[in-house]
Chain A
Amino acid sequence: MAEEFEPKIIAFLCKWCSSAGSDLAGVSRMKYPPNVVPITVMCSGSVSPLYIFNAFQKGADGVLVSGCHPGDCHYIQGNFYARRRIALVKELIEYIGLEPQRFKMSWVSAAEGKKYTQIIQEFVQELKPLGPQKKLRREK
């Protein structure tokens, strides 16, 4: 039997909420698949669309951007900018013909370890049937 496809996910987590929420998932010993590698950034508002497309070009099968809940941004309003920017990224992803399910945005607070766990579990399940992402991948 062929080995099951394991999607590679890059998760951009804001330092104050989502990375802390992901820490809480660890502290609470919750379990989720090891497909995700987190990159902690200061704010979801600092995640440039270029980061997302760069991850796809490098061969990521899915990209997650997670920040504080709207209204609760550590940097006052950074996540509002993220939200607006991400809406455009989604349109662009569809426009270039990439499966929209490959990109996800979520709001995870420092207290939501369980939510983070669920998001990763779901994301991995959603990506598995899609197979490897080849559309944007650049061969090295």
Chain B
Amino acid sequence: MKKRTGVFVCHCGINIAGTVDVKNVAEELMKHSNVAHSEDYVYMCSDPGQKLIENSIKEHSLDSVVIACCSPNLHETTFRNCAKAAGINEFQCEIANIREQCSWVHKDKLKATEKAKKITHSTVERVVKNKSLEPISIPVTRRGLVIGGGIAGIQAALDMANSGYEVVLVEKSPSIGGHMIQLSETFPTLDCSQCILTPKMVEVSKHPKIKLLTYSEVQEITGYVGNFKAKILKKPTYVDPTKCTLCDECIDVCPIVVPNEFDLGLTGRKAIYIPFPQAIPATFTLDIANCPGLLPIACGKCMDVCEPEAINYDMKPEIIEEEIGSIVLATGYDLYDKENMKEYGYGKYADVLDGLQFERLLSASGPTMGEVLRPSDHKVPKEVVFIQCVGSRDPELHCAYCSKICCMYTAKHAMLYKHHVPDGQAYIFYIDIRSGGKDYEEFVQRAKEEDGLVYLRGKVSKIFEENGKITVWGADTLAGKDIEINADMVVLATAMRPAKGAEEFAKKLKISLDKDGFLSEAHPKLKPVESVTSGLFFAGAAQAPKDIPEAVAQASGAASKAIIILSQDQLFHSPMVAKVSLNLCTGCGMCVDVCPYDSLSLKDNKAEVNEVLCEGCGTCSATCLRAAIEVKNITPVQIYEMIDASVGG
């Protein structure tokens, strides 16, 4: 039976009509033997525009429609719903993109009109061969997974759990808390970081809906939105947290001392350790990489002294499999590798520190109990140079982007230094001061005015040690002169990078990254927490450098997106999936081999499609030598007709 297609050409004000003769497009398409009705209208997406389509469908007994308008990414859903409301199947509605791919990129009205006709004609050819389809319903596993236990991951997990959904929170280190727990005070209020974070950490540990897996790593994620399966490796801590009483006896006898990660190497820790006193879970971890051996013959001192017999050398790595419906990825950041900053003597001189090390020095629970002392000789530094944009905003040698938080934390560092050492002098080298954010600019001004910080606009060329002092050579570009400062300590505001290992992890999970290695969101403005994989969301500094309030806000955003999935009774999957013509299929299995989703298999020597797994990419269709498999509503026959229309006369 011949189809009765309606063609609706939108002016989009002058966005389309300015370059394309829309009336001419509508008239031309009316000549097509399948087109029963065509018209143009100023704004098809407006309410009257939608009404016009609905009424036309009924009045002219249309069974399919083509809307020639903007990109299908914008109004495809609007018009498909409109078709549905008028009583025709939503998959009988297709969009001809004559704005982004035509009117906006051309100037010659005659040529643009000809092209718009071809695009619309091609879409008509497609829709006349479209079949009515029903979305495929799939069940939802109502549990969430959060990867990363920093502030973003903690917030996302709490929001999901407090909405009533079970959450699995996976953290690779022995405790949750991330980098935020290492900080001393936070800008612009000078809240103590630990004081505001630990209540959330405790809430996580006590929450009946949160399953916390620390010292664990997600190894594999399979499945699809609503129905993911995660394979999680739980590394052995060799300490049973239910028996450990945190008596510290094991620490006293352990003979091994290694740099303490929590204090960024400013102190040492034993091979058996608790990362910091408020660690969640509150238990010890035996770091097997540094332990002389698990055999009692090698050492065994910790086990000997452990009265509650919490230490178990026979603990084995465990693979935990979890079924979940949606995922929030919050893998965080690390600072730019010091290997890259040799010109600033970072890693060479003990008194050249990075921002996180300085946080530890300032912290009341830090290695110096909050006293600012030089790591080299434990003397109070009287002159400290802070350098911003170390590795950031340097497209030639380092990272092209702005790490965003350094202007603020450097102002905070210098301010806190002055609070600790009132007779000391703080110098800050900067390129620009970027203090956008609520109360941020006021904070920087307060630092300048009340604490007498000296801001020097310019870069530092060289740092070297001389007579126990650290000499800093730089330029003051506002005064137009060279500067030499004989400092006691230098603090570098190094660039924020995606967390170490995050890149390999993203590759394993098939998540795309941007040019800098941060997680790539589905749309930079309208889908800032979504990945292109449905059911997978982002939060925190893993997506881009951001401060605590932004990370928390994004985490709540990602959590609510994840909850939208978990709260559904069922999800719907596009029915544009592969279909096998059994009489043509010879069972060669080539389609089975190329399917990226393992949705094809051979049954009775014929290919069979698992419609729930199939994403409709069509790789199978291009591979099949006998044209025995095609994707519904974008079949080779449709494409050939579209080519014909697109080439035109």
Residue numbers of A with Cβ under 8 A of B are: 8, 10, 16, 19-20, 22-27, 29-34, 37-43, 45-51, 54-55, 58-60, 71-78, 81-82, 85, 111, 117
Contact = CB atoms under 8 A, between A and B. Distances in A.
Given A19-B101, A22-B100, A37-B122, 12 more contacts: A10-B643, A26-B101, A29-B105, A34-B106, A39-B642, A42-B576, A43-B617, A48-B621, A74-B532, A77-B596, A81-B623, A111-B524
Q: Which of B532, B634, B639, B647 has the most CB of A within 10 A?
A: B647
Contacts of A40: 72, 97
B33 to A, nearest CB: 16
Given A42-B634, A75-B619, A26 B643 contact: no
A54 B622 CA distance: 14
B100 A23 contact: yes
A31 B634 contact: no
Q: Which of B103, B118, B594, B596 has the most CB of A within 10 A?
A: B596
A8 B101 contact: no
Nearest to A110: B523
B111 interface: yes
B622 A23 contact: no
Given A34-B115, A46-B621, A78-B596, A29 B644 contact: no
Contacts of B642: 39
A78 B594 CA distance: 8
Given A10-B646, A27-B104, A85-B622, A41 B639 contact: yes
A37 B120 CA distance: 11
Contacts of A85: 622
Contacts of A19: 101
29 contacts: A10-B647, A23-B71, A23-B97, A26-B101, A26-B105, A31-B105, A32-B105, A33-B106, A34-B111, A34-B112, A34-B115, A38-B97, A38-B101, A39-B639, A39-B642, A40-B72, A42-B576, A43-B619, A45-B622, A47-B622, A51-B639, A54-B643, A58-B643, A58-B644, A72-B512, A74-B532, A81-B622, A82-B622, A111-B524
A8 B71 CA distance: 22
B647 A45 contact: no
Interface string B84-121: 00000000000001011111111110011011001100
B107 A31 contact: yes
Interface string B615-649: 11111011100000001001010011011101110
4 closest Cβ contacts across the A-B interface?
Answer: A46-B618, A26-B100, A75-B617, A26-B104
Given A32-B105, A46-B631, A75-B615, A51 B623 contact: no
Given A10-B647, A51-B636, A81-B623, A45 B105 contact: no
A132 to B, nearest CB: 12
B617 to A, nearest CB: 4
Interface string B27-39: 0000000000000
B461 interface: no
A41 B71 contact: no
Nearest to B107: A31
A22 B101 contact: yes
Interface residues of B, number: 48
Interface in B592-624: 594, 596-597, 615-619, 621-623
Contacts of A55: 643, 647
A46 B104 contact: no
B617 A26 contact: no
Interface in B125-157: none
Residues of B contacting A: mostly: helix
Contacts of A71: 512
Contacts of B114: 34
A58 B647 contact: yes
B636 to A, nearest CB: 7
A46 B119 contact: no
Interface of B: 71-73, 97, 99-108, 111-112, 114-115, 118-119, 122, 510, 512, 524, 532, 576, 594, 596-597, 615-619, 621-623, 631, 634, 636, 639-640, 642-644, 646-648
A32 B102 CA distance: 10
A10 B97 CA distance: 15
B618 A38 contact: no
A30 B105 contact: yes
A41 to B, nearest CB: 7
A78 B643 contact: no
A120 B223 CA distance: 38
A76 to B, nearest CB: 4
B100 A45 contact: no
A78 B640 CA distance: 21
A22 B73 CA distance: 12
B532 to A, nearest CB: 6
Contacts of A26: 71, 99-105
Contacts of B118: 37
B215 to A, nearest CB: 30
Contact of B119 (A25, A29, A37, A58): A37
A20 B622 CA distance: 22
A8 B621 contact: no
B110 to A, nearest CB: 9
Nearest to B74: A23
Nearest to A32: B105
B622 A76 contact: no
Nearest to A51: B639
A26 to B, nearest CB: 3
Contacts of B597: 75-76
Q: Which of A26, A30, A78, A82 has the most CB of B within 10 A?
A: A26
A33 B114 CA distance: 13
A16 B72 CA distance: 12
Contacts of B640: 51, 54
B641 to A, nearest CB: 10
B543 to A, nearest CB: 15
Contacts of B100: 22-27
Nearest to B514: A111
A41 B616 CA distance: 10
A84 B56 CA distance: 47
